[in-house]
Structure 1
Amino acid sequence: MIHDPVMTIGNMIDHQELAFIGSVDSNGFPTMKAMLAPQKRVGLRTFYFTTSCDAKRTQEYQENPKGCIYFYDPTFFRGVMFQGTVEVIVASEIKEDFWKPENEGYFVNGKKDPNFCVLKFTIDKGRYFSNEKVDDFEVSEE
């Protein structure tokens, strides 16, 4: 059992450049995509990513909000998978908090671009793999 999941897993996540996010397509099959690490995380409960509203993954979350995130640390051969739900956020005041200048190459109208959105993952449970051991855990409100 992990002694302090928030510290152990959180530290691992904060050192990763990529995350893999999963969704369910319209035929009920899982799909996966690599993305840059989340722009923000709140404990192990909430993760925020930015993307396009017209992206395939975004559309899948709007049809079925079930999703997962996987982080992998190849140096120590460990990883964590989270399951939960995804909310697609298009509210200007929230999008503004997540805008970065490097997004300008993707969104010509800046932070007010209607195609710019935020994915908010709310996590319910996770599975951590390290040292050939697997720990399942629930994630509660923080």
Structure 2
Amino acid sequence: MTEELIKEVCDLIERAKTVYVASINSDGFPNVKAMFALEHDGIVTHYFSTNLSSKRAAQFRQNPKACLYFCDEREIKGLMLTGTIEVCTDRYHKELLWREGFEMYYPKGVTDEDYCVLKFTATGGNYYHNLANHSFSMEEFNHVKA
């Protein structure tokens, strides 16, 4: 993967307002949900908020395998990241992701028992642009970037 492609991947992540998050249900089928792109640490770690009582949190507790998809429909670019999601209920992660207005979803604030953070850690990815696929591991991505 070239430095130019790495820049495109990073730009796509930075511009994203919505990320498509895929989980696996109890029957082994993928479930996809659009979620707000709130916080990330480079390309590897991404954070999302949801209710601990949600179907999605239950699915990730049962099977942590996950997939994220970022897209730019206008330029026909797409980035798929595969990895795992950890359901975090500790104060550190909850405060990290807390935003003004979350009280609408979590009335008790940052300590709401039903508020949790989904922490995605990527292991690999595929970037699509200009009729070409570029598959990579996080090690390959970070090696070129370094």
Instruction: Bin the TM-score by the shorter chain.
Output: over 0.9
Q: Deviations over 1:77-104 (max 9, x none)?
A: 1100000010000002321121111111
Q: Deviations over 1:39-79 (max 9, x none)?
A: 22111111111111111111100000000000010120110
Between the two proteins, the alignment pairs up a number of residues equal to 141
Residue in 1 aligned with 2:23?
A: 23
Q: Is the 8 A contact 1:70 1:79 kept in 2?
A: yes
In structure 2, the gaps of 5 or more residues are none
Residue in 1 aligned with 2:47?
A: 48
Q: Which amino acid is 1:7 matched to?
A: K
User: CA 1:45 to 1:5, structure 2 compared with 1: closer, same or farther past 3 Å?
Assistant: farther
Q: CA RMSD in A?
A: 1.5
Q: Is the 8 A contact 2:13 2:43 kept in 1?
A: no
Q: Which amino acid is 2:85 matched to?
A: V
Does residue 118 (structure 1) correspond to residue 101 (structure 2)? The answer is no
Does residue 59 (structure 1) correspond to residue 58 (structure 2)? The answer is yes
More helix by percentage: 2
Cα distance in 2 for partners of 1:34, 1:139 equals 24
Q: Which amino acid is 1:126 matched to?
A: G
Cα distance in 2 for partners of 1:29, 1:46 equals 24
Cα distance in 1 for partners of 2:123, 2:25 equals 21
Q: CA deviation at 1:139?
A: 0.8
Q: Which amino acid is 1:108 matched to?
A: P
TM-score, normalised to structure 2, is 0.91
User: CA 1:34 to 1:103, structure 2 compared with 1: closer, same or farther past 3 Å?
Assistant: same
In structure 1, the gaps of 5 or more residues are none
Cα distance in 2 for partners of 1:4, 1:123 equals 20
